[in-house]
Amino acid sequence: MNISSYYHLEQKLKPALGIGEALFNVVIRLYIAQIFFRSGLTKLRDWDSTLFLFEEEYHVPLLSSDAAAYLGTGGEIVLPVLLVLGLFTRFAASGLFVVNLVAAISLAELSAIALLQHAMWGAGAIYIMLHGSRYFSVDYLLQKYFLK
């Protein structure tokens, strides 16, 4: 196969690859969103324990433990919903990237497996920040119908 044939084949496959990329984008958004949303729900279920953990275990720089607990939990509840809807997607992914980074930094003892998970979540958030939400999103509809 010569180079010309390769590029001709690539052009023929472009529509199918575009659909695959859009579906991959949705899968990444749903995966990242459910991780953080579940974490936020866990914090809400036992708020006293959450406050205790932020006072004793999580050492969030520059914030009081109460502020860190409220902001972190709020981010873990609100931002995943935006991510699933594909509304302000890059903003939501950026916020979750920060939440993830602060969580990884704040824990004094983080196992290698946990660090790898945080790295995967961070990579997923970066992918979304770079690519946006693509076709299956409120952002796409807003851009298509209101920002002509």
pLDDT of 123 reads 97
Cα Dmax for the chain: 66
Task: Using pLDDT thresholds of 50, 70 and 90, give the confidence band for residue 135.
Answer: confident
- pLDDT 10s digits, 95-128: 999 999 999 998 878 888 999 999 999 999 999 9
- pLDDT 10s digits, 59-84: 888 899 999 999 999 999 999 999 99
Is residue 94's pLDDT more than 90? yes
Per the CB < 8 A criterion, the answer to whether 90 and 129 are in contact is yes
Per the CB < 8 A criterion, the answer to whether 146 and 42 are in contact is no
DSSP, res 107: B
**Amino acid of residue 94:** S
36: CB partners within 8 A, 6+ apart: 75, 76, 79, 80, 96, 99, 100, 121
pLDDT of 102 reads 94
What's the mean pLDDT when you consider all of the chain?
93
